[in-house]
Amino acid sequence: MAEAVQEELVALAAIFCGQDEWEVLSQSETDGTVFRIHTQTEGPMAMDTPLELVFHLPVTYPLCPPGISLRSEHLTRSQCVVVQEKLLEQAKNLLPEPMVHQLILWVQQNLRHILNQTEAAGSGSEKCAFPSSPAADDGLWITLLHIDHMRAKTKYVRTVERWASELRLTGRLMFMGKIILMLLQGDRSSIKEYLLLQKTSKVDVDSSGKRCKEKMISVLFETKAQTKHKRFLAFEVKEHSSLAELQKEFEAAGLQQLFSEVVLGLVK
């Protein structure tokens, strides 16, 4: 698989060879590859809409879909979220083959159709955006949440992923034994909006199976991001089999002190 992915990267670099069309943002054996592509839609009905796409290919790609972020000054935030979700749905249909170029062709050819479908339901007016580089977002905040339990785990996780996508939040939902932690990164206002959703929506079920609100979530830590902190490029769900694995997750994010001072206290 690694050879096939490398061949795909070489092909993409050759295809998007114009000025500023292709840029590798990061590449490692543990976190995979992150790159940015600038392109635009095709065809007379698409009105040549410029698109900026960031793909994160984890080490397990293409056995799993890539992470995808989308930005366009010609689209609203709501439209960006819808198009991004459609891209992720399309990616699942293309598993387990390298798929980035197919996804780009698909969004180039189908953007206008997607937008026409969403216009009937209405859309927001705020332009969607993500920073041009991880260090460029001066308003980035980090929040660590502790969730006591999840009875309806599959539905709960799906809801959390949807909220994170809609609010342009990145981070990790981490499970280790009975411990459930969530690291969120994004605008402080978006994190507060997430917490409001988390506490006011019926996201889980009680012991009798009835839908209920989350009453036992707690904020363990909140701070403005510093240069030592890693910027997450997507929201991912992680299952850790040991405390050591969980520790490595925090260390990779530049949050070693947070793990020692806060997280360890949950397992004692």
pTM of the model: 0.48
Q: What would the mean pLDDT of 33-39 be, rounded to a whole number?
A: 90
Cα–Cα nearest to 81, from 167, 158, 161, 140: 167
Task: Tell me phi and psi for residue 111, to 5 degrees.
Answer: -60, -50
Tell which phi-psi region holds residue 166, choosing left (phi > 0), alpha (psi between -120 and 50) or beta: alpha
Residue bearing tokens 């500023």: 20
**Would you state the CATH architecture of domain 134-267?**
2-Layer Sandwich (3.30)
Reported in sequence order, the residue ranges of 148-250 that DSSP labels E, i.e. its strands, are 170-176, 179-187, 204-205, 211-212, 217-224, 235-240
Give the tens place of pLDDT for each residue, 64-74: 888 888 888 88
Are 123 and 116 spatial neighbours (Cβ–Cβ below 8 Å)? no
Q: Which class does domain 2-119 fall in?
A: alpha beta
- Max intra-chain CA distance, the chain: 63
Tens of pLDDT, residue by residue over 135-157, are 333 478 899 999 888 878 888 88
Q: In the numeric block, which tokens belong to residue 179?
A: 């411990």
For residue 101, what pLDDT is reported? 92
At 90, list the tokens. Answer: 């399309």
pLDDT in tens, 211-249: 777 667 888 888 888 888 888 888 999 999 899 999 999
Neighbours of 107 (CB within 10 A): 24
Query: pLDDT tens digits, residue range 151-193?
Result: 788 888 888 888 888 888 999 999 998 899 999 998 888 888 8
Q: Where are the domains of the chain?
A: 2-119, 134-267
pLDDT band at 133 (very low <50, low <70, confident <90, very high): very low
* pLDDT tens per residue, range 203-221: 777 777 787 776 678 888 8
